[in-house]
């Protein structure tokens, strides 16, 4: 499936160029709403080494490039041409084997990627490996228990390889040496978000996608 996604996103970048449509977002508004909410939640970053893993055309991490050094890795080389033009230091590669030494980055972002990956655990482990102790790993993906996605699934052919429970990603973060996990829950197409250290609220069935962040343990 991986090679199919590589071809798919090369083709998207060929067709849509630097537009967020190349990264398969529903529209500009949903992309910018999600990006702004997640970056606000992450807090202000200055002078940091940041990895945008699966950066696509680089639109998500572009606002961070002014004050930080942002690396972008993706297996779609066509997408990387646009990410480079946005100021990311781009490196073609697969998230299963990142071309970096251990503990390199202050912040690692992986936005909208793991739903395209069947074997997510090795990818989370690889993202955690390159996060420095005390650094932040943030992963955003689709919520498996979303009522809206279940209803859509009745009418649409399956598009993604996987969707996720918040609990399973929290467990995977714990297994990879992260702690102090928090969630940002999003409710497409509505603009509001909610923050929580916990999962399992009844209202989670309305959560369409979520981000999880954790801090890599020191020592």
Do the Cβ atoms of 138 and 177 come closer than 8 Å? Answer: no
Pick the binder of ligand SAM from 38, 51, 54, 137 (CB under 6 A). 54
76 touches ligand SAM (CB under 6 A)? yes
- Concatenated DSSP letters for 150-217? HHHHHHS---SS--B-HHHHHHHHHHTTEEEEEEEEE-TTSS-EEEES----GGGGG--EEEEEEEEP
What is the torsional sign of CA 128, 95, 118, 189? positive
Size of the site for ligand SAM (CB under 6 A): 22
Pick the binder of ligand SAM from 62, 64, 75, 215 (CB under 6 A). 75
Do the Cβ atoms of 187 and 210 come closer than 8 Å? Answer: no
CB of 196 to ligand SAM, least distance (A): 22
CB of 113 to ligand SAM, least distance (A): 4
User: What CA–CA distance (Å, rounded) separates 90 from 101?
Assistant: 16
30 touches ligand SAM (CB under 6 A)? no
Q: Pairing state of beta strands 49-53 and 105-111? A: parallel
User: What CA–CA distance (Å, rounded) separates 128 from 99?
Assistant: 13
Within positions 102 to 121, which residues make up the interface with ligand SAM, using CB under 6 A?
111-113, 116-117
74 touches ligand SAM (CB under 6 A)? yes
CB of 91 to ligand SAM, least distance (A): 10
Within positions 83 to 102, which residues make up the interface with ligand SAM, using CB under 6 A?
94-96
79 touches ligand SAM (CB under 6 A)? yes
Would you tell me which residues interact with ligand SAM (CB under 6 A)? 2, 5, 9, 23-24, 54-56, 59-60, 74-76, 79, 94-96, 111-113, 116-117
């Amino acid at each position: 499936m991986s090679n199919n996604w590589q071809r798919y996103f090369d083709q998207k970048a060929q067709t849509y160029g630097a537009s967020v449509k190349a990264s398969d977002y529903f529209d500009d508004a949903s992309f910018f709403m999600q990006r702004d909410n997640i970056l606000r939640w992450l807090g202000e970053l200055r002078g940091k080494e940041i990895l945008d893993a699966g950066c696509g055309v680089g639109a998500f991490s572009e606002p961070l490039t002014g004050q930080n050094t942002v690396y972008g890795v993706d297996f779609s080389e066509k997408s990387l041409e646009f990410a480079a033009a946005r100021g990311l230091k781009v490196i073609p590669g697969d998230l299963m084997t990142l071309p970096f030494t251990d503990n390199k980055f202050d912040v690692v972002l992986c936005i909208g990627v793991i739903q395209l990956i069947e074997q997510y655990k090795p990818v989370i482990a690889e993202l955690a490996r390159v996060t420095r102790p005390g650094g932040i790993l943030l992963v955003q993906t689709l919520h498996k228990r979303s009522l809206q996605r279940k209803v859509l699934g009745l009418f649409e052919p399956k598009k993604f390889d996987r969707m996720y429970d918040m609990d399973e990603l929290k467990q995977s973060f714990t297994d990879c040496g992260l702690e102090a996990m928090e969630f940002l829950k999003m409710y497409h197409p509505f603009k509001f978000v909610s923050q929580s250290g916990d999962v399992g609220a009844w209202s989670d069935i309305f959560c369409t996608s979520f981000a999880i962040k954790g801090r890599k343990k020191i020592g």
